[in-house]
Structure 1
């Protein structure tokens, strides 16, 4: 048993960010996201919201500070400027992470293309539409 590890993270899911390198990406997908069609590694978090999953993962995962955007959401189809409430929730979580930055938006098929290249996909039980987030792993700085 370990302490300071979010209880939502299974041993297999803990292993994934540990294996990821700088610049690798992890997708947090909603219940409608085609996770198995996209990802080589898929972790299921049925019954867990995308925001709960993101909070647990961001507790451990440093975000990349060498890219313009280290987190991405999928644009609303037909209205690229729309902001479903979950976008603000994702941004609030990213704002508390290492190397916070504004979340970028990707057109639906560009999001899917990027997700296909991701290191892993976490399939959540999120039923809110557009509850998908891609996070880019950064590096842990040298100890002082």
Structure 2
């Protein structure tokens, strides 16, 4: 048995449940503190699943769980994407919640004319900023 086959065999033995081809394949190993499975000492199981099924992860991209299940290693549920897209696609994150807001807390619209986009991310209402400076 060559190295690739041994790796695949070892990987598939780590899957705790795979009821069907399209369902989540739950990684059976002990999860990390943030809920991801590990393969070997330091590799995240979902990243290894993507590499085994698709190929190398393109530089600068992360692996997104389309199913929102961190222990899932089904390659059909994994996609290489930017960290920004990964965070904004998730329904459970504050950046995603904030990105969906159309008005500031004072009711001013977040539109082209009234919105300042901070270099490090985030945005501010120009009308509120002017009012604070005047006060």
Task: Identify whether the pair has TM-score above 0.5, normalized to the shorter chain.
Answer: no
Between structures 1 and 2, the one with greater helix share: 2
User: What TM-score comes out, normalization by structure 1 length?
Assistant: 0.27
Bigger RCO of structures 1 and 2 (CA < 8 A, at least 6 apart): 1
User: What TM-score comes out, normalization by structure 2 length?
Assistant: 0.28
